[in-house]
Each structure stands twice: as structure tokens, then as C-alpha cells.
Amino acid sequence: MRDANPPCAFVSFTVEGHFFIIPDHNEGGTTVIILQNLRKDYIVDKKSITALKKIDLTIERGEIFGIIGHSGAGKSTLIRCINLLEKPTSGSVIVNGQDLTQLTSSELQTARREIGMIFQHFNLLSSATIYENIAFPLRLTKRSKSDVDKKVRELLDLVGLTDHAKKYPAQLSGGQKQRVGIARALANDPKVLLCDEATSALDPMTTQSILKLLGDINKKLHLTIVLITHEMHVIREICDRVGVIDDGEIVELGPVADVFLNPKQRITEEFVEQVSDFDFPLELLEQYRVMPESERNRHQVVQVSFLGDTTFQPVMFQVLQSLPVQFNILHGTINRIKDTPFGRLVLEITGEPADARDAVQQLRARGLQVEVLL
């Protein structure tokens, strides 16, 4: 007979120099969140306003999934539907194998212990110390005083606030307050962590440190993180996949690298432009357009995009060896999307038109994306 309460597996890890042993959430199936035909309507001045329309979405165990959209697009409503802080008008919300919309109030309260949440404005108890803020959700589960103390001190270590346990929220910086929020959200060892604009109230340097902390926790705990933001640099820095939400609908969805390098929707292009460090001056193309046609035919201008391992491979050198053409780099950059390197170059290919076309085909055959600009 199968044990009704099988022993829990544990994983040990180090975050920011501290050693921890915690329950391993990387067991079971791979899909942890399923949203099916999700819809949310509000009644405002006796009129029905639709905030979410037919959302179908799956989020895999251990991934960091980002939802990006402008204010009013529905992203906050969507993330709050995942733990039923907002009850959907229709559709299913399946988290950790349970349809939360079908649970009783007491069952939902229990299920929410496996779903941590951090907020834009921290939502800390102002009259409680940092220690008490983190201890609060633990005490709701009636754990012993020694268990609470042990867990709180582990979490203080985890988020780098050991020396601030007796302080009050008003005595902390914004970044420190958010670290308290993260520690509190992790108190009951959740399998899912929801982040509601968790960095938008922070300065860039503090944002970077919070994103690094979330990334480290994700890697070590295999914790599924869902975050919403209106800042594309957050998506590029930490997320594995992204959904772009507009007017209550997911209009684009995919791995961050694919969406970033090949946006299909205009709204996605706008978000990508927020963080694009590739600003090719199109006026440089004018010098080719004014050339005599006989000379212009020997010059082709292309934009080449590299992703992953090809970023550092001598692809262009290999093409140059096989064809009688010359490459002139007009513009270029190399950067990263999370852990994946990528690069973009604008090249002038000089040679006979047929050889230039062959060069483009060879670059594409080697896994590069090539767009002919002229």
C-alpha cells in the first residue's frame, strides 16, 4: 500500500553565502498552473466591464513566467486570479493539481499556503518588527514557537536581513522591505511565488539585486515564479517565458528570446524598444540609395541576429572563406537575455549580387536570422 504521507524529499543549497536545507518542490508533474477559458467581469456603475477574456495558459514547474502589459491591460487581475484573490467570472484555475474555483473556503485557505505572493508596495505590518512580519503566516498555521523561530531566522539569512530582525518597516529601504516581503511569502514553503509588480517601486540598482535574489531562489528551490510587470528589462533579465497581455487578452506568448528577437505584435515591439540597445541609424542607408545603380548592385545591407552559442562562433569568417565577398560591420551589439547571449550586426556585403545572395543563404543555414535592409 502506498504511504498516504510519503517522506518529503529535501534539497540543500547556498544563496548569497548562506546554506539551507528545505523541501524539494521539483517532484511530480511538470505543469503547475493551468488557466482554462478564464474570464473576469466587473460591474461598474451598473455596467459590465470585462477585464480578462478567454485566457488559456499553462505554466511549468520551476520556470519563471512573466506577464507584461500596460496599465489597465488586465495583468494584475490575471495574477490575482491565480490565487483567487480575484474570483473569475468563469473558467478554471488549476494550481498544484487542484481547481481552486471548486474549493470550499477552508480548502482554498489551505491551498493558498502553497502560493506565496509579494506586492509592489510590500504590504508589511507597520507596527510589527521584521521578525514578526515574517513570523505572521507561520503562526497562522499554529506551528510551535521553536519551529517559528528557526524558520524566521533561516529566512532572514536567506534574504540578507539577519541584522534587521528587530527593526520596523519604516526603518528599512525599499529594497529591504521587498526582501522582507519575499521572506514572508516563502514562510510556508510554497510551490508557487506570485510577484505583483514587485520591483516597479525600486530604483534600478535595487531592482537588480531583487531580481538576482529571485533568480537564485528559483534555481535552488525549483520554485515556480509568476511575475507581472510593465518593464521589459525585468522580463529580459529573469524570465524564461513571457505572455504579453493587451485589453484582457494574451496577444503573444513564447520563450523570452523568441519574443524579444521576433516580436509579432506592435505592442510587443513597443516593449522591446524599451530596452533595445540596438539603435541603428537608418540614415546610413541613404549613402547606398544615392549610388549609381551599377555600383549599388554590388552592395547589400543586412541585419544579422545571433542567439545562443552561435553568438561566439566564427560564422562570418567561415562564409568569407567560401565566397568572394567582403563584410563591413556598420553597427553591432552583444547582450544577454537571461542566461542566453545574443547579438545583432548590420553588415554591408560587397560582391557580385549572386555571391551576396549566397552569403545570406549560408548565414541562415548556420542558424542566424538575416533581414535584408537594402
Residue 19: per-residue pLDDT: 44
Residue 282 has pLDDT above 50, yes or no: yes
d(CA 206, CA 215): 14
10-114+190-275 folds as Rossmann fold (3.40.50)
Model confidence pLDDT, tens digit, residues 167-184: 999 999 999 999 999 999
pLDDT category of residue 25 using cuts at 50, 70 and 90: very low
Digit-coded pLDDT (tens) for 102-124 = 999 999 999 999 999 999 888 89
State pLDDT tens for residues 180-191.
999 999 999 999
How much is the average pLDDT of 343-360? 90
From the list 322, 328, 341, the residue with the least C-alpha distance to 298 is 328
Q: Which residues contact 226 (CB under 8 A, 6 or more apart)?
A: 33, 59, 65, 66, 67, 79, 82, 192, 193, 194, 195
**The pLDDT value given to residue 1:** 34
The pLDDT of residue 278 is 65
Angle between helices 130-140 and 145-158 (to 10 degrees): 130
Confidence of residue 308 (pLDDT cuts 50, 70, 90): confident
Cell numbers of 306, please? 545571433
41-63: pLDDT as tens digits: 999 888 999 999 999 999 999 99
Proportion of the chain above pLDDT 70, given as a percent:
91
CATH of 282-372, one of 3.90.340.10, 3.40.470.10, 3.30.70.260, 3.40.50.150: 3.30.70.260
- Per-domain residue ranges for the chain? 10-114+190-275, 282-372
282-372 matches 10-114+190-275 in CATH topology: no
- Mean pLDDT on 190-210: 92
Reduced DSSP (H G I as helix, E B as strand, rest coil) percent helix, strand, coil of the chain, to 5: 40, 30, 30
Q: Say how many Å lie between the first and final Cα of the chain, rounded.
A: 70
Confidence (pLDDT) at 305: 84
- Report the distance separating Cα 55 and Cα 74, nearest Å: 11
Q: What is the pLDDT of residue 258?
A: 87
Least-confidence region, from 15-19, 114-118, 191-195: 15-19
Instruction: Tell whether the model's pLDDT for residue 28 goes beyond 50.
Output: no
Which among 217, 24, 205 has a CA at the least distance from the CA of 225? 217
Pairing of strands 299-307, 115-119: unpaired
User: Whole-angstrom Cα distance, residue 152 to residue 131?
Assistant: 7
Closest CA to 271 of 256, 290, 293, 287: 256
Residues 310-327 have pLDDT tens digits of 777 788 888 888 899 999
Q: What is the spatial distance between Cα 206 and Cα 16, in angstroms, rounded to a whole number?
A: 15
Residue 10 has pLDDT above 50, yes or no: no
Element (H, E) at 204: helix 204-221
Look at 73-77, 81-85, 90-94, 332-336 and tell me which has the smallest mean pLDDT: 332-336
Mapping DSSP to helix (H, G, I), strand (E, B) and coil, where does residue 350 land?
strand
